[in-house]
Chains A and B, each alone.
Chain A
């Protein structure tokens, strides 16, 4: 405990690195959040509305489907992320340096393509008539046409796949970095005790990665429930075949900018905030993310 306190009070470069970020966090993160909470509990004229905005939006016919979609999407995506990112990072960590560096680079590339543009690339990937992976689309997804690739039942999985490949590379690099912090002598000690690579990965490295996995899960859960770019672009590219209120964040967007109902939009945003917070609290308490003596 003493070590931690010392680290906290020491001047050092920490606050210096933090300083440029803080004003942005306040202006674009904290203040809007407070403002959204304010909007969610007031009406158009600024009067107190209690939970009326919440009951009104919950009763909207698009509310439940939208939350169902993101729930399914987030589960699939988070599952993929945790299993595959950790799995790939562990595999890479066991390889020779050059092989591992090449693969880290390969995994990272799709994520380096900026947000919306990578979704646009995926639109082509999903169209069997132009996709380089058309045989996969035909045999795995069973789609001969673009409209079949984006059939309603497949969408959560399609979006999860897009999000995985655009985001996983960064996390693989992070996990790899985390694995490098594991002291060499621990690994050696395990090896002397007769542990093979699999045992070392599962019994030694994985438990030490726990906090990093929790960290990834919290951040990804929040971004997952706030899905917006993918369904919005697919909505436009499919000429409306995918509803423009597919995800709850899209519904909030429509509420605000189509119906001019900022209070309802704020209520949906606060719903998402609450879901994200609850998930974070659960993950933090279950994994001891902030326990310093671990």
Chain B
């Protein structure tokens, strides 16, 4: 029978902790001498599966470094793996990895604060001339209470992914505004049922449609969090999406489910358009949905009517965080610098995401421009969108993805409209925010 009793485990852990927390906190780590300045020795790196090749390549290129690489879920989709792990390491006073990559861009926010206190400030670890090469909005996302605690691996700006082959075949023009996009969705439903112009079933779909459209669901005003789902930016986006969810051109399915791949992927793919982040090309279209080469390209983020400036959302842009408990900070920093500013393989092994470090982005874009996978050069759209991420959506200590998933996505699947779910979403976000210690305001 399944062992469901958790509390004994929980308490045993706590007991063990009580026994050793006094003795081993701040003890010597694997490198021997605390904060050694030379690169080498043991480091422990926690990465998601996508960043695994980078960590392995570093270990291969640095024989004097013994890298202990651990893969985990990457804290993806709003998981709280790292919070629970760091709580445990803090309690036992040992076991912290030296470097962590997280898929959740907001993780450094809580890692830099009590009770976690995990992240080390990067200022003294990464040279200033390198740090200055990250775009300002990226640095801002890693800066918590005035101190920078992480560097982003990649930028995850949302663009409009286009299946050029299908669009040409159907004789459609690529939309430039959300209104044209919605009108096309309506047309596709009538002329080519079964084809889609987007999807809304992912744990991050609200970052694509609501963040990009300036819906204030997560806006910090001092220490107060503004959550206002009644704002016109939210309601108008919802009313635009509702008929499309209804007519099947924006299904409430996650792109990473077998159901989605079966219905819309493969050689007979049915994805006409899809607003989504920069890393979709390789990670989703090529490797997950197996859409053949010479079909996909990117277009600029959609504009709301004629409103300027055009803003877009962000999905991911995972950060590298160095542990303040590391006893081998020099090697930890060396690895992070290498992974973000040097590691840039070509061909099928190339980085899936748009590198955040600007000089690397330039060489990466050059390679993508001639990447045979694309039907047309996607780089102008990617580059343009990089600076358009709306800054009114702030990073907070709690994950909002599960809230979106279990309040909205499950109900969209059940046939409810997004417009009717904005209120419950706002309430659920407010509850999560209050549980995390935020003061919440609706106005």
Contact = CB atoms under 8 A, between A and B. Distances in A.
A101 interface: no
A249 B6 contact: yes
Contact of B1 (A170, A240, A260): A170
Nearest to B110: A258
Given A240-B405, A262-B14, A147 B73 contact: no
Contacts of B1: 111, 115, 166-167, 170, 223
A129 interface: yes
A240 B402 contact: yes
A147 B12 contact: no
A272 interface: yes
Interface string B245-266: 0000000111011110010000
Interface stretch (A26-34, A83-91, A184-192, A202-210): A26-34
A130 interface: yes
B426 interface: no
A223 B77 contact: no
Contact of B7 (A128, A146, A227, A252): A252
A226 B14 contact: no
Given A60-B435, A227-B4, 6 more contacts: A32-B8, A32-B10, A238-B405, A239-B254, A252-B7, A253-B6
A33 B10 contact: no
Contacts, number: 152
Contact of B414 (A119, A151, A238, A254): A151
B6 A228 contact: yes
A273 B6 CA distance: 12
22 contacts: A31-B15, A32-B7, A33-B7, A61-B435, A115-B2, A119-B2, A127-B258, A129-B262, A151-B410, A163-B2, A223-B4, A229-B2, A236-B79, A239-B77, A239-B405, A240-B402, A249-B4, A257-B83, A257-B88, A262-B10, A265-B10, A269-B10
Interface of A: 27-29, 31-33, 35-36, 39, 60-61, 111, 115-116, 118-119, 127-130, 145-148, 151-152, 163, 166-167, 170, 222-223, 226-230, 236, 238-244, 249, 252-254, 256-260, 262, 265-266, 269, 272-273
Contact of A258 (B10, B87, B406): B87
A257 B78 CA distance: 15
Nearest to B401: A240
Interface string B47-81: 00000000000000000000000000100111110
A224 B83 CA distance: 27
Nearest to A34: B11
B232 interface: no
A119 B3 CA distance: 12
A146 B10 contact: no
Contacts of A166: 1-2
B413 A148 contact: yes
B190 interface: no
Contacts of B287: none
B6 A129 contact: no
Contacts of B318: none
Contacts of A273: 7
Interface in B1-33: 1-8, 10-12, 14-15
B293 to A, nearest CB: 26
Contacts of B83: 257-258
Contact of A152 (B10, B11, B402, B406): B406
A36 B11 contact: yes
Contact of B402 (A36, A243, A262): A243
A171 to B, nearest CB: 9
Contact of B11 (A35, A61, A118, A228): A35
A215 to B, nearest CB: 14
Contacts of B253: 145, 147
Given A32-B7, A239-B203, A269-B10, A257 B409 contact: no
Contacts of A148: 413
B347 interface: no
Contacts of B87: 256-258, 260
A223 B115 CA distance: 32
Residue in B1, B77, B115 whose Cβ sees the most chain A Cβ within 10 Å: B1
Contact of A32 (B11, B78, B259): B11
Contacts of B3: 115, 229
Interface in B408-443: 409-410, 413-414, 431, 435
Nearest to B78: A240
Contacts of B79: 236, 240, 244
A119 B80 CA distance: 21
A20 to B, nearest CB: 18
Contacts of A242: 406
B409 A241 contact: yes
